[in-house]
Every structure is written in structure tokens, then in C-alpha cells.
A and B are shown apart, each in its own frame.
Chain A
């Protein structure tokens, strides 16, 4: 959600229970403006809050010229002093898969776990135990990256791909109509498409390349991992991810107003198959 309209946006994403206190809201508004100037971002969005057992991480997302690819994340404990997170890599993400339990709220905390790895080939293969150390800061990077790829949502048509391949906001996006808003296929994952390339030509026939360049939520596996509801008496569409409990997407139909926040514990709901 944009820094300019953060008040309205926070109000709209408050259906899931956790909001920001007036102090945090006020501090965010000031510091986001300064962040935008200092880091030369095009836009700064409030991304969410990861609840720790001691303190919470507040996270903002800074966007560069390409809204899909050039992005940076910063975290803070008091909404005023921000620290840049390293860019996520495959190693960081895989190394933090095995970490269990809640976030603590201390970026230098080290998680230690033992991993067995098979060394050698064929008959010489031996299992070797390796202790892996991951700091909470890296875990935070990994979790944010995972949420971004699996649960970042935008309405169809809100972003447009220009001939140079850059992804930018669509100036002419006027919001989804009420009928469109009720369907999951009018919402896209805001991440590099994976399933789109695997679609058959017949399925791709109706797609418009400048708009339909992202994966639709409808094709998500396991299906049923999104809860679509209308709040405030049908005036706001709210999408909640059941895999990442705490991710709330909101969109007011027929306006260009949309956004998502993640306010949760930073743990994926792996019990999902048992819960439907």
C-alpha cells in the first residue's frame, strides 16, 4: 500500500484483526517519505509485519523502475529506523526451509539445525551430518521471498507489460467489475510466471499478452487455498491466503484501489490439506 494513502489502506486491510497503532501509523508516514528519497525508490509500499515472540518486524517494500523485478525490502522495529535486507537467493531460501518455530524478533539470532547429506556416489555414498546455521535476518529474507512468490496478489489489468518487457502500473486500470471480482481468475500472482509457460496454445488463445503475463490464482495448487469474501457489505473484496495465514489482499471494485499486506507469524500453514 502506498505511503500517500496508508491511512485508508490500513483501514481496508484491518478485517483480519491486526492493525497498526496510531503511533506506528504516524511514524510510518514520515519515515516512508524519507526512505523514498534516500534510496531513490519510485514508490514505497508498506508490506507487512512479522510477529515475533519478543518484538515484531515491520517491513516495507521499495520499488524501482520495474515494479515486478526491481524491488528491495527493508525492516524496522519502530517504524522509523530502517535496515535494508539482502536480496534473496536460492541458497538463502532453501537453507531456511527446515527452520521451525516462531520468529524471535532479534535479527542476529542464529538458528541451528542438523541436515543429513549424501556424499559420494553409488556404493560409496555416505550420509554426512552437517550443522547449518542461519541467522534470523536471512530467515526473514527467505520468508518474505516465499510469500512474494506464493501469495502476492494483484487484480487482472492493474499492471501492464510494456514492449521493453518492463512491468508497470496500468494507468487505465479502472478496477474489476463486480462480476469479475467474484472470480479467482481475475487475480494474478505478482511474481515471475511459472505455470503460464506450461499452458497449451488453446488455453493461451484468449490471453492478452500485455495484461495476462502473470499466473492466475485459479490455477493454484492445492486448489482452495484462497478465501474470497466481500467485506463491508460487498464494497470491498478481501482475499485471504489459507497457506500463508495473515496475508490479506483487498480491492475496491470499480476503483483502482488495491493492495496486500502480510501480518502474521511468518510460518507457512503446512497443515492446510487437513483443514478443509
Chain B
């Protein structure tokens, strides 16, 4: 209840109206009255001190403020700065109708500068943004300078040692269990051999990726991708949460954390959507003669590339080529023959000799399209064309640029103009599916026992059968008795002989 006389209130309202003279006073009279009442109640009754506000807004502002200070480091190094002109690329993408707002891009630009200052990078570029349900990821693709990767290897070692620790713990547990329950049968399941991951700088691990949730936060390097991650990522379809250490709970089980899933999706998206204008990259000359059989995986920039007219690039998809290797069903870019490896293992422990019989049929080597294949040869998914090429402006064709949009990975875009081109991905990190996603069925349950005739329940005999059986038994009994009598007689005879 407002402890005020109506007279005072009305006079205050009227004063306010006369002072401010708003339009349509009749319509908003209630509002004014309410406002006057609110202004009266400014008396503060509690004497508690206000808690100091810790808002995330201020925290982030503090972090991002640090980006704006110039680092005092002097430019004594003789290498070229690996930092690309992100704002220029953003300008071209804006023509294409893709991208983030300008100040967000600038924050990313500054954050990338921070990254290149802190890490010995040869090359880096803004890969894109992956949306998550709680936070988003900004992804930067980079390459280390040669000979600067020791720390990285150490990390790999660490993870491996962790894995082995886990394994040993498991084994110990198993042993303990075995001691307790000796009677338990041993599992005959032999896990399929682990496909080795590709070396750094090769195949799906050609680049390293740094991610952060907000520009200005520290960049986190993603772990290298393994074929198992890629294979598992193909079967699942999940939202990213924005927390790298989040466990992926899925079926079929994903062997790792969200960081691994993110890295696998990045590898798949890169392999599928990183395209460049035809002729921008060419194969090195030396390799042509020597390595005819192996897949060529290196290329260099073509210094003579001039670029095609935009109209040509829009009309013909064969003017665009993939410049990253296709990821094979195995989860690697270069196929390894696992059966050979397995045989070698089996020689060591002879227990598994049975399986060796299966060895001889060599698996077909998986072959993907070679590097620098035009995108016009990409497969369609359920009548959806894989790529759409567009021109940025129909009104001013002189200065327009060509845009290529991927329909298989919605959110992946490429632009090209003259010698400049760039790929970007901004989206949820999921491949397009025409039909709805269907998780694979769980495997068939194992049979508990062999189905042999002895274990089946026999049907109850009828009276007739029973009688027949009894008769048969009696006859047999008689026969036996006779036999026994004969035997006894014989025994007696034998005794007498002794």
C-alpha cells in the first residue's frame, strides 16, 4: 500500500503531465501514474552493504582489454609474420553474405596475433566457428615452424602413457578378479588391431588446430586425430557443448572427449570442403618420376597462377579443386594394410593360430580420389547437389567475387577473386543428412549355450507309448536275465578252471 494521500498523488501526476506534456496523455495516464508511484518509493530500508558485483561481462572485458596492448617485443626475427590479414578475408566473406560481425572478427584477429606471438608458427589462418549449446568454439588452423615441435611430441607421449597406465590398471583389476574367480572362462574376444594415427604433417594431421571459447581466452591446442575417432564420429551426430573436457556419451561409444570429437569433425569438414581455384596449387616437379605408385600428398603454390574470370568460376564447378586429401573409410588419408600387421603379431603369440587361416585374403586397399580433384566429381547426397556456386553481386559484376557454398557441410563457404581465396566454416559441425539420422543397431546378443539336441526338453510320452516302452523294457530284461545266467555259468566254469 502506498502511504500517500490521493490528493498528493493526483497533484504529482498532474504536475508531471504539465511539465512533460507528452502526447496522448489519456492513453498513457496509467503509466504516468505508475511511474510517479515508483519514483516515490526510493527509500531504502535495509542497511546491509551491497555485495561487490562480479559480472562475467567485466571479467571478459578485462581479458579482452589485454589484447589491445601492444607487446613490447621488438621485431628482430627474420621470418615473415604468419598472421594473415583476417579483416581483408572478412571483407570478402561479407560480400558473400557470410561471416561474423566486424568487431567480433577484429577480436579474433587480435587473439590470433596473441597466438602467433606466443607460438612458433609457420602459418596460421582463421578456420571458422563451431556453434555449441553452451559456448562456441573459434578455431584456428596452424602449422609449426620446422623443428619446433618437441613440446607437442611430449604431450602425445603423455597421453599415450596415460592410456597405458589405464590399461595396466585394467589388467591389474583383471588379474585380481582372476585370482578370486579362477573358474571363470577366459574371453576369446580379440579386439581388432588399433589403426595407427597419421604422423604430424601428414594426412588428417597435416595441420594443428587451436580453439578458444571467446577471443582473448587462452588458446587450447586440440589433440591429434586418430582413425578410431574419425570412424566413430561418422556414426554419431551430437551437439557440441563448448566444454572440451566433456565426455561424449553416445552409441556407438566414442573413444574420447569432446576435444577429440571436435578435432575429428574439423578433420572431416576440412577434407570435405577445403577447395581452391584450379591451378592455384600444382604438384612438385621432382616427385613425378620417383613416386608413381604412392599417393602424392604434397603440392606447391603455382607462381604463374593468374586467376579465372569470376563468371567462369561461377558457371563451372570444375574450376575448383580439393586441396586436402580425402579421408578413407579407414579413417586415414593413406591406407595401411592392417592384415599384414596382424599376421606379424600372431607370429609372436602362437595361441591365435586359428585366425591365421583367415589371413591370406588380402583386403582391397582403399583408394580415395587423388589430391586436387575438381569438386564437380563429388558425389551427390540424395539428390542434393554438393556445391552451389554464386556471384556476390549481380549489379556490379566487374568487382564481384565468386562464392562456393557446400551443401554437404552446411556452413562451409569459399570465395575466390584473382589470386585470393579462402575457406571458412561457421555452423554446428554436422554433415547434411537427407533422411533423418538413425543410430546403428546394437550388435546381436551372444548365444548363451550351443543349441544341441541334448538340451531340448522332450515331450511327455502318451499312454500307448509308455505301454510299448514298458513292454520293450520287460523283454529286454528277460533277455538280460538269460544272458546273466549264461554269464554266471561261464564264470563258474572259469573259477573251476583256476
Contact = CB atoms under 8 A, between A and B. Distances in A.
Interface in B425-452: 426-428, 432-437, 439
Interface stretch (B71-79, B98-106, B464-472): B98-106
Interface string B121-157: 0000000010111111000000000000000000000
Interface string B56-70: 110011001000000
Interface in B23-47: 28, 31
Interface string A122-149: 0000000000000000000000000000
A20 B97 contact: yes
Contacts of A270: 436
A53 B408 CA distance: 11
Contacts of A242: 133, 239
B350 to A, nearest CB: 44
A16 B426 contact: yes
Contact of A19 (B94, B134, B214, B384): B94
A14 B31 contact: no
Interface residues of A, number: 39
B131 A16 contact: yes
Contacts of B382: 100-101
Given A22-B94, A233-B57, A276 B100 contact: no
Contact of A21 (B95, B135, B388): B95
A100 B410 contact: no
A276 B238 contact: yes
A101 B384 contact: yes
Contacts of A178: 55
Given A21-B94, A21-B393, A227-B134, A15 B385 contact: no
Contact of A78 (B60, B236, B388, B394): B394
Nearest to B387: A53
B376 interface: no
A23 interface: yes
B273 to A, nearest CB: 14
Contacts of A274: 236-238, 437, 439
Contacts of B100: 14-15, 17, 19
B57 A275 contact: no
Contacts of A271: 237, 433, 436-437
B407 A102 contact: yes
A245 B28 CA distance: 40
B211 interface: no
A23 B94 CA distance: 10
A197 to B, nearest CB: 27
A259 B258 CA distance: 32
Interface string A73-111: 000001000000000000000000000111000000000
Contact of A232 (B96, B104, B385): B104
Nearest to B385: A53
Contacts of A21: 94-97, 392-393
A11 B105 CA distance: 12
Contacts of A22: 94-95
A255 to B, nearest CB: 15
Contact of A53 (B236, B238, B384): B384
A265 B434 contact: no
Contact of A275 (B60, B98, B238): B238
Contact of A172 (B31, B237, B428): B31
Interface centre among B31, B135, B239, B426 (most CB of A within 10 A): B239
A198 interface: no
Interface centre among B129, B410, B435 (most CB of A within 10 A): B410
Interface string B377-393: 00000111100100011
Given A100-B434, A275-B238, A15 B97 contact: no
A241 to B, nearest CB: 11
Given A23-B395, A102-B407, A18 B426 contact: yes
B411 interface: yes
Interface centre among A14, A15, A17, A265 (most CB of B within 10 A): A17
Contact of A171 (B28, B102, B392, B407): B28
B435 A100 contact: yes
A199 B426 CA distance: 40
B97 A19 contact: yes
A24 interface: yes
B440 to A, nearest CB: 11
Nearest to B64: A233
Nearest to A105: B388
A230 interface: yes
Nearest to B439: A274
A175 to B, nearest CB: 15
A42 interface: no
A230 B58 CA distance: 13
A14 B97 contact: no
B428 A245 contact: yes
Contacts of B427: 17
A251 interface: no
A1 B144 CA distance: 45
Contacts of B135: 229
Nearest to A276: B239
Contacts of B439: 274
B99 A234 contact: no
Contacts of B437: 271, 274
B392 A275 contact: no
B426 A17 contact: yes
A21 B399 CA distance: 14
A215 to B, nearest CB: 22
A14 B102 CA distance: 10
Nearest to B396: A23
Contacts of A240: 131
Interface in A244-270: 245, 265, 270
Nearest 7 A-B pairs (CB), nearest first? A17-B426, A234-B57, A233-B60, A271-B437, A227-B133, A21-B97, A14-B101
16 contacts: A14-B99, A14-B100, A17-B100, A19-B100, A21-B96, A53-B384, A53-B385, A101-B434, A232-B103, A233-B57, A233-B61, A265-B410, A271-B237, A271-B433, A274-B238, A274-B437
Interface of B: 28, 31, 55-57, 60-61, 64, 94-104, 129, 131-136, 214, 236-239, 382-385, 388, 392-396, 407, 410-411, 426-428, 432-437, 439
Given A15-B136, A17-B411, A17-B426, 9 more contacts: A14-B99, A17-B98, A24-B97, A54-B388, A101-B383, A227-B133, A232-B103, A271-B436, A276-B239
